[in-house]
Amino acid sequence: MGRLGILAGGGELPHIGMREALASGEDPVFLSIIESDFQSGEYPEREYPIHIAKIGGLIKACKKLKVDRLLLLGKVKKEIIFKNLNFDLKALALLARMVNRHDYSIFRTIAEDFEKEGIQIISQKVYLKSLLLSEGRYTKRPLDKRQLLDVEFGMEYAEKIALLDIGQTVVVLDKSVLAVEAVEGTDQAIRRGGSFAKKAKAVVCKSSKPSQDDRFDLPTVGTNTLLTMHENHCEILALRDSETLVVDPEEFIRLAEKLKIHILSIGRGNLSKINRSQKKLTHIG
């Protein structure tokens, strides 16, 4: 077996993945994306910078480093595809084959091409299981009937926009959609939606698509999500259970309690039952 490569964007996820992979006995290497906000961490000797628009260069780097599995982790801002990037011939050929420029179309086309080169893109869950919340309510206070109706309404729409590859997040209030996430990202969607809520408190719903391909773009939240919600009149965060990566779950739940933000991890089952049953962090992963 060859090495594990972590195609790394910004944020904490690549570094969590690196630590988990090392703990499991892997010999991983970062293929750090120059155009992202990747921050050098505690393993600089394992970092190999690459350009996102140089797919041919990425494949060559994998061959050189004996990488046969790739884990895609970290933020790369969607608007980067609208910038004047200097694509290499391999990237241009892949772009020409894509049905559209939605995330999944891009990822799927790249994955198919990499597999032909003997490089498998693996599930993001493999080394991030500890960041997944199982079904339940993770903060103390139960929700009232109006809040539950908004959660149910919002999760339905969040799943629909995820299925259309528009985004993964909606902000709702009184069964009305205040904001839909698109290229701008989750935090900006929360700010836009919260600006309409004002004295009322809005609900943020984040969902993967049905039959989500967990190699790519699993929904992700962290403490910054909660701080943005708190600053923008949002009091509930509803997530899809076992499909949403929560960066530092213990700190995340502690901060949610401090800010009086409800956290629900929801399957496609009985919402009221989930609301009645608080779960502790021993249920994570």
Rounded Cα distance, 274 and 30, in Å: 39
Name the residue among 247, 234, 163, 242 with its Cα closest to residue 205: 234
* CATH of residue 76: 3.40.50.20
Q: What confidence score (pLDDT) does residue 103 get?
A: 62
Q: Is residue 112 part of a domain?
A: yes
Mean pLDDT of 107-123: 87
Q: Is residue 283 part of a domain?
A: no
Alpha helices in the chain, H assignment, sequence order: 13-23, 55-64, 89-97, 103-116, 145-163, 186-197, 223-231, 249-259, 271-276
- 13 with 55, same domain? yes
Rounded Cα distance, 139 and 254, in Å: 9
Q: Is residue 172 part of a domain?
A: yes
- 246 with 191, same domain? yes
Q: Is 78 helix (H, G, I), strand (E, B) or coil?
A: helix
- 115 with 210, same domain? no
Domain end (from 121, 149, 181): 121
- 103 with 159, same domain? no
- 93 with 156, same domain? no
pLDDT surpasses 70 at 82: no
Contact 121, 114 (CB under 8 A): yes
Q: Is residue 79 part of a domain?
A: yes
- 112 with 155, same domain? no
* CATH of residue 149: 3.40.140.80
pLDDT surpasses 80 at 45: yes
Mean pLDDT (the chain) is 87
In angstroms, the Cα distances linking 78 to 162, 179, 191 are 15, 18, 18
- 105 with 40, same domain? yes
Contact 150, 172 (CB under 8 A): yes
Query: Domain containing 161: what range?
Result: 129-276
Q: Is residue 281 part of a domain?
A: no
Domain total of the chain? 2
User: Which positions ≥6 away from 85 have C-beta within 8 Å?
Assistant: 35, 52, 53
- 133 with 262, same domain? yes
- 246 with 162, same domain? yes
Q: Is 3 helix (H, G, I), strand (E, B) or coil?
A: strand
Over the stretch 49-59, which tens digit does the pLDDT of each residue have? 988 878 888 89
The share of the chain scoring above pLDDT 90, in percent, equals: 61
Rounded Cα distance, 171 and 193, in Å: 5
- 211 with 163, same domain? yes
Residue 282's pLDDT band, with cuts at 50, 70 and 90, is very low
Q: Is residue 167 part of a domain?
A: yes
Cβ of 234: how many Cβ atoms within 10 Å?
26
CA 48 to chain centre: 23
Domain end (from 70, 95, 121): 121
Domain end (from 95, 121, 147): 121
CA 278 to chain centre: 24
